Amino acid sequence: MTPPPAWRPPHAYVPGQTPRHADGLFDRFGFDIDDIKGSDRWGLALAFIRDGYFWEAHELLEPIWIALPEESAERRIVQGLIQMANAGLKRRMKRDKAVARLEAIAQDLLAGARGHPGKAILGLNDSEIEALWRSALHRLPQAI
């Protein structure tokens, strides 16, 4: 996986708590469908999950999810990461019922996509997915 660029928004967006970022803020981070794991968009999205920028991670991941083939393991991984980020954001917003629902959805998607022993999907193996999960559960951004 390519390290993400050294770029962060001025704050993590949390609806009702912090200002929303400008439309198109993440448009400069493109990806090639044939090399998603090598793209700045992918690397930055994963870094945002690790660092607690959950809304921002979702914004970066959604175009990738849309571009991937239906029913593919890659699409399930990305969808699982999106739900993981959503769960992290809802935890931050203290919406416990939503957190529990989204965590269950994310776990199901990620478990289904990880059923390829010894194979990394989009550069992520089981231990890396677990590390992202732990980050989403416990990490809040430094810049709020």
Task: Name the residue ranges covered by the structural domains of the chain.
Answer: 56-138
The DSSP symbol for 3 reads P
- Rounded Cα–Cα distance for residues 41 and 49 (Å): 12
What pLDDT is attached to residue 3? Answer: 45
Average pLDDT score over residue span 115-119: 65
Mean pLDDT of the chain: 86
Between 5 and 44, name the one with better pLDDT.
44
| Per-residue confidence (pLDDT) for residue 110, from 0 to 100 | 86
3-state secondary structure of 124: strand
Residues 119-136 pLDDT 10s: 788 888 888 888 888 877
